[in-house]
Structure 1
Amino acid sequence: MKMINAALLGSALAFSALAMADDYAIDTKGAHASINFKINHLGYSWVIGRFDSFKGSFSYDGDAPAAFRVTIDTASVNSNHAERDKHIRSEDLLEVNRYPEAKFTSTAYTAKDAQSGVLHGDFTLRGVTKPIAIEVQKIGEGQDPWGGYRVGFEGSTTLKMKEFGIPMDLGPQSAEVQLDLHVEGVRL
C-alpha cells in the first residue's frame, strides 16, 4: 500500500510540474528562429545551409525546456545554391517527394546547470526515427516590447547520415552533418 501511495504522490507531483509549465510557439513568423546545417565538403571546405520552413512548440517551466515538437519542411532546404539544393532534395539525400517532413519530439531533459543541459528526443528523417541528444544553452527570457513574453535557446547536435538511410556517400569527411538550432519561443 505504501508503494502505491508513493507512486500516486510521485505521479501527482510530476503532473503538477507539467501543469505549471508555460507553452510557447517557436517564432518562425518573426524569423527569430532558425535550423541550420553544416557539412564538410570532401575534406576541402564546408557547405552551410538552413531549412527555411519549419514550425514547432515547447513547454518551459523556468527550470527546463520540455515537450519540444518541431516539424521541418525538408523541401525548404537552402544552401544558397539552386543546383545543389535540387540535388539535396533528390533520392540521393533527403528524397523530399517521399519524405516531405523531418520531425523532432523530445523525450527528456538532463540539466547540466541552470542555463544548459541535454535535450533528448526522437528525430525522424527519411522515414527513419532515431534517438538523438541536443546540447542546449538558454540564451535568455523576459518581456518583449509588444507585451508578450519570450524565452530563447540554442542547441547543436551531429547526425550520421547513414543512420537515417541517406544513400549518398561523399566520403568519410562528409559522413556527418551538424545541426545548429536557434529557438525563440513566444508564450501562448
Structure 2
Amino acid sequence: MSELTPEMSGEWRFDPAHTRIGFSTRHAMVTKVRGAFNDFDGVIRADVENPSNSSVKLTIKVASIDTRNAQRDEHLRTNDFFDAPNYPEITFRSTHIDQVEDRNYIVNGDLTIRGITKPVSIPIEFVGVERDPAGNLRAGFEGSRRIDRQSFGVKWNTALDSGGVLVSDRILLEFEVSAVKVENDAG
C-alpha cells in the first residue's frame, strides 16, 4: 500500500530496530562524520483525513550517540558538546504538520538540545505502508534538516591552520523511520 487511507489514522510507534535517527557534519572541512542515536522513543499520532491534527513526539537519549569511534563519542557526551549528564535527552514535539504534496509533509515543531528550544521545520516524505511478515502494519518516512548547532549551545571547536574549523557548525539531521501501527486490542 503506497497511499494513505483512513484506516491508517491512529498511533504509530518508531521501531528502533528499523529506524535511524542520525546526523552528519563536516570534519576538518574536508570529510563528513556520520553518527546516530541508538536509544530513542518516537510516536506518531496520524489523522489521515486532516494531517494538521497529526502529531509527532521524539525523545532521544544523548548517551546513545554512536559515531563508530568510542573516544569521539565520549567527547560528544561531555560539556564541550551535548553535556549528557546535565541534558540527557534531546526532544522534538511537533506543533503543526502541513501536507505540501501527496506524499510530502512539513513537520513543524520544537527541538530541544542542551535545554535550548528552537522551532524547526522538517520536510518528511511518506515512503509507504506494508504489512510485515508478523502481520504488523508498518509505515516508512524519510527526511532531513540542516540546523546550526551553535544556536543550541553546542559551541566547542578548534581552529585549523588554514583558517577553517575542525567541526562544522551546520549539522544535517537525518530521519529514516519505520513506524508500527499500534493495534487496538479492546474488543
Report the TM-score range of the alignment, normalised by the length of the smaller protein. 0.7 to 0.9
Percent identical among aligned pairs is 32
Distance of 1:143 and 1:71 partners within structure 2: 26
Larger proportion of helix: 1
Residue 97 of structure 1 aligns with which residue? 85
> Of the candidates 174, 178, 181, which is equivalent to residue 184 of structure 1?
178
TM value normalised by structure 2: 0.84
Residue 122 of structure 1 aligns with which residue? 110
Which has the higher relative contact order, 1 or 2, with Cα contacts under 8 A spaced 6 or more apart? Answer: 2
TM value normalised by structure 1: 0.84
**CA drift at 1:173:** 6.8
> Of the candidates 13, 21, 24, which is equivalent to residue 35 of structure 1?
21
Change (3 A) 1:185 1:37: same
Which of structure 1's runs of 4+ aligned residues deviate more than 6 A? none
Which deviates the most, 31-40 or 140-149? 140-149
Q: Which structure would you say has the larger Rg?
A: 1
Matches within 5 A, 1:3-82: 21-28=9-16, 31-62=17-48, 64=51, 66-82=54-70
Distance of 2:88 and 2:15 partners within structure 1: 21
Aligned-pair Cα RMSD in Å: 1.7
Specify every segment of 5 or more residues in structure 2 that has no aligned partner in the other structure, as ranges: 1-7, 159-164, 183-187
Specify every segment of 5 or more residues in structure 1 that has no aligned partner in the other structure, as ranges: 1-19
Distance of 2:128 and 2:46 partners within structure 1: 12
Residue 161 of structure 2 aligns with which residue? none
